[in-house]
Structure 1
Amino acid sequence: MNNLAAQVLESARHVLERADLDDLDADLPALGMDSLLTVAFMVDLETRFAVRFPAELVAASTFRTPRAASAAIESLRTAS
């Protein structure tokens, strides 16, 4: 697991208050991530990685799993 993925998992653990979360493919909504927690997750990721999610990435699929969120951040870093 690379550093970016590890930091995304740490953010998800923090937002969900789930210290046991260690699966990049975990279905975050199934673990309790509702719309308000998704926004908190997004804001935390924007702060951690100094990125802004454009409107087209502000979608449930972007934040469904830590792997999906990691891929979105990687794409934003590559684009800049």
Structure 2
Amino acid sequence: MKIGFSKKGLTLNSKEFNPLNISVNGFGLETQDLKLPIDIDPFEVLEGLAQARGAEVTQEQKIKILQETLKKFEL
């Protein structure tokens, strides 16, 4: 696997790669059709969503984390 960086972002094996399109255990986001504002940092979104991991996080807390993440980026 070849990882590269360009002005447009991250590349894997010379193909553009968006970290938001990663699927984990069958869950993920597909952003190809979304019109995201250009100033959104995909890694910030992933950090926000990563807070919802773990057995100790309740369903209510997961929903609150998702709402806060979406609100932060005005999605």
TM bucket normalised to smaller:
0.3 to 0.5
More helix by share: 1
Q: Which has the larger radius of gyration?
A: 2
TM-score by length of 2: 0.34
TM-score by length of 1: 0.32
More strand by share: 2
